[in-house]
Amino acid sequence: MALPLQSKAVDGHSPLLRRSARAARTALQLLFVLLPLTLPALSEEQGHRADRRVHFYTFSDTIPHPGICSLAEATAEFGSRLRVIGLSKRPGYILIHSHSPTLKFLAFQEVLEYEISVGRIASDDLVIFADGHDVLVQRPLADIVAAYERWPGSPYLISGERNCWPWPHSDSSQGSWDLGGVHENQTWVINRWMRIGPKDFCRMIVGNGPYKYPNIGLSMGPASRFVEVLKRVNQLVLEEDVNDQGAMWLVIFRHALELNIEVDQHAEVFLSMLEYEPGELEREPCEEDWFSGQLDSSKMPDGSPAAVPPRNRLTSSLPGLLHFNGPSHEDGVWPTCYHAMTKQFRKVGQGHAFVDVDHNIA
């Protein structure tokens, strides 16, 4: 005799099984309706919180310095507060092996790990890290974030440049600033089956844009990913005979896929002014009409139109940060651009200040 809950199967399935399947589907549909109400808002394309914050850091062991002041003023008008690391340090370098890396990445890892641990920064908040004395910001942070988010998966994005450094060059296409025979008797293991020498680095970079060589003066990414990259770089600086820029190259070659590292080869976010040639920008840096462009979508935090710098003719991009690295900091262009920025970002009552992270004062 059949049990009461059993009935004749139809198409090989009992009514009880069909009812169970319908109940499961209903529960699953209800879950998909309720789940978004219980989680932070996520970007459909990127998989991160749509309201994640942006934190702007730099390193400087010297104050006062005009570059820090200009960077702080523009950052304030663009709706953030520059956080400066290193003002408790003696100016200079640390001596390790035969090279002298700066303290900036070692200090920044310590600060970033602490600020995540105490909850001041969420692990998926965006972090921008810039050199303190030769970087100028020229576009609203919202525009910089929008350009960054064109890369899928929230990468660690590092600036690109046209000069291969610190490795010796083997071709004129690798730039004009060549350190020559540095590291000439050394080799490095990239993985279990590849060992490369110093002249291999410049040749191995796959270029899809004019700024293909990585430069550590500007970078951006989620805080947690930033920490992982800094750990790898700093470990190499402390354990192998290579400076912080060279260590970043090794981290890219060894861990780019694992850590989702991208080089901004088209200057979408960062533009290195080293090797700049006249005519590569719509207007020459940084003449009176530098901020004369128009872009309806570019707004200041108060909703007013943002002044727009010239577009890069090589890539059609509008980079938000300029880096006057190497010799480009030593000619007349950086002072001209410095004065253009300080003239542009002098809004009264804006609160032009920065945070001294080392001493915890603003």
Does residue 41 lie within any of the structural domains? no
Does 16 fall in a domain? Answer: no
Does residue 236 lie in a domain region?
A: yes
Its pTM stands at 0.83
Instruction: Determine, yes or no, domain membership for 141.
Output: yes
Query: What CATH number corresponds to the domain at position 283?
Result: 3.90.550.10
- The domain in which residue 226 lies consists of 54-356
Q: Which of 50, 136, 56, 89 is nearest to 335 (CA)?
A: 136
Q: For residue 47, tell me if it sits in a domain.
A: no
Q: pLDDT tens digits, the chain, 362 residues: what are they?
A: 444 444 344 444 444 444 555 555 555 454 433 333 333 444 433 456 667 899 999 998 877 788 899 999 999 999 899 999 988 877 655 555 444 456 789 899 999 999 999 999 999 999 999 998 899 999 999 999 999 999 999 999 999 999 998 898 988 889 888 877 677 788 889 888 899 998 999 999 988 999 999 999 999 999 999 999 999 999 998 887 788 899 999 999 999 999 999 999 999 999 999 999 999 999 999 999 999 988 888 999 989 999 999 999 999 999 999 999 876 666 778 999 999 999 999 876 666 789 999 998 87
DSSP symbols for 15-64: HHHHHHHHHHHHHHHHHHHHHHHHS--B-TTT-SBTT--EEEEEE-S-SS
Would residue 156 count as lying in a domain?
Answer: yes
Number of domain units in the chain: 1
Q: Give the pLDDT of residue 92.
A: 58
In a domain, 38, yes or no: no
Residue 11 in any domain: the answer is: no
- CA-CA distance, 57 to 121, in Å (whole number)? 12
Which pLDDT score, from 0 to 100, does residue 180 have?
72
CB crowding 136-175: b at 16 or more within 10 Å, else e: bbbbbbbbbbbbbeebeebbbbbbbbbbbbbbbbeeeebb
According to DSSP, residue 308 is labeled B
Residue 88's CB: how many other CB atoms inside 10 A? 11
Q: How do strand 82-85 and strand 54-59 relate by DSSP bridges?
A: parallel
Position 265 scores a pLDDT of 98
